[in-house]
Structure 1
Amino acid sequence: MANTTKKGKTSRRLDKNRLTLRKGETQREDGTYDFRWTSADGKRHSIYAATLQELREKEEEIIRDKQDGIKTEIRRTTVNDVFELWCDLKRGLKHNTFTNYKYMYNMFVRPSFGKLRIASVKKSDVKRFYNTLADEKILTIATIDNIHTVLHQVFDLAVDDNYIRINPTDHMLKELKQSHNFETEKRKALTVAEQKLFIDFLQNHPQYHHWYPVFAVMLGTGMRVGEIVGLRWCDIDLEQGIIGVNHTLVYYNHGDGKGCSFSINTPKTKAGERTIPMLDFVKEAFLMEKKYQEETGLHCKATVDCYTDFIFINRFGDVQHQGTLNKAIRRIIRDCNDEVLLRGEADPVLLPKFSCHSLRHTFTTRLCESGVNVKVIQDVLGHADISTTMDIYVDVTKDMKQKEFNVLGEYFGKITV
């Protein structure tokens, strides 16, 4: 609505309440308001509000955005849009890691949270979404952590490109862990007695004897399971007693519509490339595997990304699968414990539930218990960050200290009675 004034004076535009409207402001027939402006790229934009006061609050936000360099003209951009940009720009990730990130995003983020306009996402929206993942989707904290890793990078990109001022996912995972009392379950190593029981069972039972070499090498090197199953005969030097670790065998969905398959990856970090000295029983395990394959006429038939002649193969000559190894461990635990319980011992040692990765942790624990230098442990395990090694070292030494003080307590109890 416009007001005509005397000749020579600027006319004012008024709303139905006789309030002066600013440039770009308009009152509609239904009483609501809109504000229109042209961005630097020449495009026209509009915002709407029920009252003039609400409209001007939005205008002030637009002015602040413009002063701060925030792109007010892309308010319709969604989280999904920025995720696609992140996918186009992201470099430095292993193919299987990147594929897993995209799978997680498409499965849990894209259909709901991903449709939100990125400029309007608040911390409360992120918190509500994470609560949904934990309480309704019943996802583990490890899975939510992966989702958070992607979302945090996506919102960081939005901040860097001036879509938004702050990253609303900052500290949200920490808050989720605190509110749900999530604690990352620490991997438990086998005790010395449990380790001995496991090894003795493999060595003394023909049904499981063929599994001894691969599990012995895991226990004696601390190598990751992907590094173990990816080992080739040319990667080890039996005369010098050295293992060269320079690649890993991974099994994942490549996203090409053909399902899961094996691939060769280089280590994630430079620290992953390393040499590991062979302990005597590890060298014996390699020789045992070699002899077993010669006697049974077994040889490697698999070729993965031009890599072949793998050491640990299945009865068909194909590479070993981590899932198969973990299933074998579960059967070994079952049969070993059944045998122990049949003996009727008063306080028997039984095998706990564990996996291939537990054997890596067991090796690390034995190193710590033996007093091996932390830097040596870091190098052998291929940890890029010393803090990863220190976390394990501190846990082990804490347990050792407690056991020593328990013994001390018993001693003091005897001499003070």
Structure 2
Amino acid sequence: MPRKGLNISKCHKGKYEYWRGRYEKGIDRNGRMTYGEIYAKTYEEVEERLVKVQNEINANTFIEPTKITVAQWLDRWLKTYKDTSLTQSTYISYKGIIENHITPAIGGLRLQILSLDMLQDFFNKKAAEINPRTKKPLSVKTLKNMKTMLVTAFKQAIISDIIHRNPAEYIALPKAEKKEMRVLTREEQRRLLEYVKTSDSRFKVIVFIALCTGMREGEISALTWNDIDFERGVITVNKTLMRVQKKDGKGTEIKITPPKSRKSDRVIPMQMALISELKKHYKNITAEKLLAGSAYDKKCYVVCNELGGYVEPRQIQKIFKGFTAAVKLDGVNFHALRHTFATRAVESGMDIKTLSTLLGHADIQTTLNRYAHTTDEHARNEIEKMSVLF
């Protein structure tokens, strides 16, 4: 016997029987009542679902069922809500995560039935999965980026009234193994500087810029002479240059954009050694500019080719590799110069807040997490100076 007040009826389709429940969704713009329907094989199942829907409608928590899948929603979210707000590199990164990892595994699931347990199982499998190309599992950083993307995408789904809770918010990630940073010893730094000082390479200035400022490769690539103020003795960091995949996936292109975070836009005082090297470099560049005439790049990059054009980050890394090979420095990439700058700064007594500002970190905790070992060593040395008192 149907429960009083519930709109449930038996239906027939050929030889098949099923039950249908109707519920009031609300009033449309023409003032007419609109209805939703629930179908099931048994009366009891329709009744249970219909009561649940009506309770949710009364509590104002009801979301109309939709068949949109995880893959369909992520595609819509990326194109509709993130096309203009993400940097191109982040957009391409998210697109790759969706296409290569999420869609093949859980993309076909309906978004509304996706649960934390389903996502946790997916992440656990991804953490253990070995990439056939790299022969390694996904890095914790990639898993973290994947979680961040899903949390953001599902927040928008809540705003868009597709789901009422975020199933990605409490995904547990494996603990990242802390990698040992490669920092040049004072003796290695001395050897490298002695070599580049006597080198006739037009690119030796990149070593001085990195060791004296801690700037990133992309920031050095984007640096122009307008960013150098010899009178004030400062460098303004306000852009970064990188090669990124095009949004349509067809090839790559060079992009010059603001730095990676608001605090990455900064002013760095120059040491006298750097000012001296930059002035010598500027003199050489000016001579080339006069010879090239109108063919010279009007942007006037500091690190440039013979026509003033940019030198992209991967070229800087390749050039630096030649320098390290010449002085037999093993396991040193260009980013190690940034770590070396930070380490020397702390050793010289610079406070972490100032260092964080100079490095352009988003917050001081990032600086502390990376250079805490250096501050510990510095504190130990300072404590030892007190031993004469005992």
Alignment of 1:350-369 (within 5 A): 351-369=329-347
Query: What is the match of residue 138 of structure 2?
Result: 139
Query: What is the match of residue 281 of structure 1?
Result: 273
2:374 maps to 1:396: yes
Query: What amino acid does structure 2 have at the position aligned with 1:149?
Result: T
Alignment of 1:9-408 (within 5 A): 12=1, 23-26=7-10, 33-37=19-23, 39-40=25-26, 42=34, 44-48=36-40, 52-87=43-78, 88-90=80-82, 92-136=85-129, 137=131, 138-172=137-171, 175-178=172-175, 182-185=176-179, 187-204=181-198, 209-256=201-248, 259-293=251-285, 308-314=299-305, 317-337=308-328, 351-401=329-379
* 8 Å contact kept, 1:247–1:273: yes
SS at match of 1:275: strand
Deviations 1:200-258 (A, max 9, x none): 3333555xx44321121011111122111111112112233221222222221231465
Deviations 1:143-202 (A, max 9, x none): 222222211101112233343332111231xx2214xxx325354332322322332333
Query: What is the match of residue 16 of structure 1?
Result: none
Q: Structure 1 pair 56/191, CA: closer, same or farther in 2 (3 Å)?
A: farther
CA–CA distance in structure 2, aligned partners of residues 372 and 194 of structure 1: 22
Q: Structure 1 pair 67/38, CA: closer, same or farther in 2 (3 Å)?
A: closer
Unaligned runs of 5+ in 1: 1-11, 14-18, 338-350, 412-417
Query: What is the match of residue 31 of structure 2?
Result: none
Query: What amino acid does structure 2 have at the position aligned with 1:194?
Result: E
Using structure 2 for the length normalisation, give the TM-score. 0.80
* 8 Å contact kept, 2:8–2:47: no
CA–CA distance in structure 2, aligned partners of residues 352 and 57 of structure 1: 68
Deviation at 1:123, TM superposition (A): 1.0
Using structure 1 for the length normalisation, give the TM-score. 0.75
Deviation at 1:34, TM superposition (A): 4.9
- How many aligned residue pairs are there? 370
Query: What amino acid does structure 2 have at the position aligned with 1:148?
Result: K
Percent identity at matched positions? 27
* 8 Å contact kept, 1:250–1:262: yes
Query: What amino acid does structure 1 have at the position aligned with 2:239?
Result: H
Query: What is the match of residue 134 of structure 2?
Result: none
CA–CA distance in structure 1, aligned partners of residues 243 and 295 of structure 2: 17
Q: Structure 1 pair 331/25, CA: closer, same or farther in 2 (3 Å)?
A: farther
Cα RMSD after superposing both structures: 3.5
CA–CA distance in structure 1, aligned partners of residues 195 and 8 of structure 2: 83
SS at match of 1:183: coil
